[in-house]
Structure 1
Amino acid sequence: MKHYDELEWIFYKEKILPEQKLEKMEEHLYECDDCMDTFLSLIDNKEINGAEEIIPLNFTSSVVDNVQRTKYKIMTNKQKSNMTFKNIFGYYVAVAAVAIILTWGGFFSNLVDTLPQVANSAVNKEKLNVPNIVFNMSEKIVNKTSNFINEFQFLNGKEELK
C-alpha cells in the first residue's frame, strides 16, 4: 500500500491537486488509518470553527430522524445461505469443467514442459554484467570533489608559505 506524506495531505486539504489524484487519496483514507491520522493532524482550530458555522445545530437530530424513517428488509439466514450455496456450486461446476477441458487438451503437460524454457529465455545474460551507471556516476563525483578539496588545500598551503 502506498502511503502519502504530510505535504501531499496538505495539498489534498487545500484541493490543489488534480481531481483524479484527490479521488485516489480520498479512497486511500478509507483504507489506511496511518494516513487518516496524518490528515486529521493537519486540521486546525480555524477549520473546526469554519465547520461549526456551516453545519446547522440540528444536524445530528435530522440525521437520526432520517435513519429512523428509512425502511429496510431483513434477510433471513435461510434465504442468504441458499443463494450462497447456489452461487458456490455454480462456480465449482464451471471450474471443474474448465480443468477437465484443459487436462484433456494437454495444456497442463505442455505448461510443465514450456515454463522452464520460457524462464531461461527471459533472463538476459548481457544485462547481468552491465555496470551500475548511477554508482559509477556517484563514484566519479566523489573522486572529483576529493581531488578539488586536495588541490584547494595544496594551493592554500603554498600561499601560506610565501
Structure 2
Amino acid sequence: MNHVPETRWVAYLADEIPEDLKIEYENHLYSCDECLSAYMDAMEKEESSLDVEGLDIAGSVMDSINLLKGESLEEAKQIRKEKSLRTITRHYLIAAGFTILLMAGGVFQSLTKYVDSVESSSVKETQSLTDGLIDKTFNWMDSIEKKNKEGFRNE
C-alpha cells in the first residue's frame, strides 16, 4: 500500500470513508511511520479546530441565555469578564496566602536544609570512595616497589 495523504486521514477522522478502507488504513498505520506522522498531524488539526468551535458554541449559548434574561450582549460579556477576573484574583490571593503560611512555618527553610544535607552526604561518600581507591592504589604500588627493591638486594 502507498502512503496515505493527510487529507485522507482527515476524512478518516471525520468518518467519511467506507469501513473496509478504514481497516486497511488502520493496518497500514502499524507498519508505516510516515503515515502515522501524517495521521497524528491530521488529528492535531482536527482537535484544534474543535477547540475553537467549542469556545464559539459556549459563548453563543451564554449570550442566548443572557438575552432571555433580558440583558444586553455587552452587559453579559462585561459580567463574564468580571467573573473571570474575580476568579483569577481569588486564585492568586489563595496561592499567595499559602506561600506566606509556608514561609512563616519554616517549611522552605527545612526543605533547603534537607536538600543541603542530602547533597553534602552524597558528595562526602563520593570523595571518601575516591580517596579510598587512591590510597589502595598507592599502597599497592608501594608494595610492588618495595618487593622490587628487595629482589635487587638479594641478587
- TM-score bin (small chain): 0.3 to 0.5
TM-score (norm 2): 0.34
The structure with higher relative contact order (CA 8 Å, sep 6+) is: 2
In our comparison, the structure showing a higher alpha carbon Rg is: 2
Larger proportion of helix: 2
